[in-house]
Each structure stands twice: as C-alpha cells, then as structure tokens.
A and B are shown apart, each in its own frame.
Chain A
Amino acid sequence: AQTVTQSQPEMSVQEAETVTLSCTYDTSESDYYLFWYKQPPSRQMILVIRQEAYKQQNATENRFSVNFQKAAKSFSLKISDSQLGDAAMYFCAYRSAQGSNYKLTFGKGTLLTVNP
C-alpha cells in the first residue's frame, strides 16, 4: 500500500520570503500522480499543483513549484514570495495511474503560518 509522509507538522515563513514543505512517499508503482492541496480556514481543499511521475520537468504554478525526485520518492513544495493568504494546511497526496486504483492517499498535513 502507498503511504505519504509529511514530516513537518508546522512551518512558518515571513511574508515575501520563500518556504519549502517536505513530502515523501512510498510506492512500488512506476506511474502515478502527486498533488499538493491547500486547506485554508474555510476548510475547502484546493488543488495547488499536480505532478505526473512520468514527467521529469518539475511542475510550476505561479509562485508555487515542486522539486520532484522520483528515485528518492520525494515531492517538496516551494512557495516563493509568501503572502498572508498562503497561510493554510498543506496536504501532499498520491494517486496511482494504474487501472482502477483511483484513491487519493494523503499525508497528515503541514500547517503553514505566514508572519507579516
């Protein structure tokens, strides 16, 4: 079974600075998807960024980028120019790309605080 580990329960960053959230996962599969979701106090999970395992290029979405290290099974999220609105719980998630195994497996989350 796949597992997702987020080793940082909490992180903080100064506004306008850069922060990196860590995520590692365990799988025996070669083809899969990785996600970072953001859950602000409104509780709505919002997809931040997605990475397909077969792509070597790291995904980027504006101020959000990932460092995907397939051999190391590592998938970290970098937030540049942090804004107050970035404060939220961040969840790393894994999904198989094989057949009917569509289940999203989530990590326990990292609570990000942005200090003004």
Chain B
Amino acid sequence: ETGVTQTPRHLVMGMTNKKSLKCEQHLGHNAMYWYKQSAKKPLELMFVYSLEERVENNSVPSRFSPECPNSSHLFLHLHTLQPEDSALYLCASSLYWDNTEAFFGQGTRLTVV
C-alpha cells in the first residue's frame, strides 16, 4: 500500500453513461497524475495536476474530464466513452510535479460496453 487509493477498483459502463473515477492520497503530495494502461502498450500519461492546477493535458479526448478540487483528491469524469477506452486507469502522486518518484494507486479497471 503506497498511500494512493483509487475507487472503484472495477467499473463497467455503457457508451452513453457518465461515471467518475476517484483518486485520493494523504501523503502530503502536491502533484497528481492520471495514466492509461492498455494491453500490449506502454503506460500513457493523460493529465498532470500541480497544486490543483492542470499543467499537462496529453492530447486526451474531451470525453475524459479531470478535476482536482484539492491537492489530496483527483477525479476523472467519463462520458460517452468508446470501447477502445477500456483500460486500466492509474492514478499517481509525487511530492512536486518535477519530483522523480511517483507513487501509484492500484488502478480502476474500466470496461466500456
């Protein structure tokens, strides 16, 4: 357990649904990240937040909408997803956005049907 908690662990949603993924850390970190992990592909960085401000949006489609209300919480709001969006979504945090060590959560396994 690294101190980064993600909920839910598993999520199945239809293409017309709206759902949210939640990430929480109480490590005192100031930077939080969303990664997408698809089968047979390297992890892809999606978003980076530093002190609740988005510092990176890695050409992610608008059907993914991040929210960082405070430095301990990060959300990923999902709407009108496609089956190819099915993947493991990993949240991570680090002390600062340019800190070398990132701590990861256990991920949310998302299936879009």
Expressed in whole angstroms, the minimum distance between the Cβ of A54 and any Cβ of chain B is 13
A104 in contact with B102 (CB, 8 Å): yes
Closest residue of A by beta carbon distance from B55: A100
Chain B interface size range: 20 to 34
A102-B88 contact given A44-B106, A107-B42, CB 8 Å threshold = no
B2 in contact with A104 (CB, 8 Å): no
Tell me the B1-52 residues at the A interface (CB within 8 Å): 1-2, 40-43, 45, 48
Query: Would you give 26 A-B contacts (Cβ < 8 Å), ordered by A?
Result: A43-B88, A43-B106, A44-B1, A44-B104, A44-B105, A44-B106, A44-B107, A45-B90, A46-B104, A47-B102, A47-B103, A50-B100, A91-B42, A91-B43, A100-B98, A102-B48, A102-B97, A102-B98, A103-B45, A103-B56, A104-B43, A104-B45, A105-B42, A106-B42, A106-B43, A109-B42
Residues in chain A within 8 A of chain B (CB atoms) = 4, 33, 37, 42-47, 50, 91, 95, 100, 102-109
Residues in chain B within 8 A of chain A (CB atoms) = 1-2, 40-43, 45, 48, 56, 88, 90, 92, 97-98, 100-107, 109
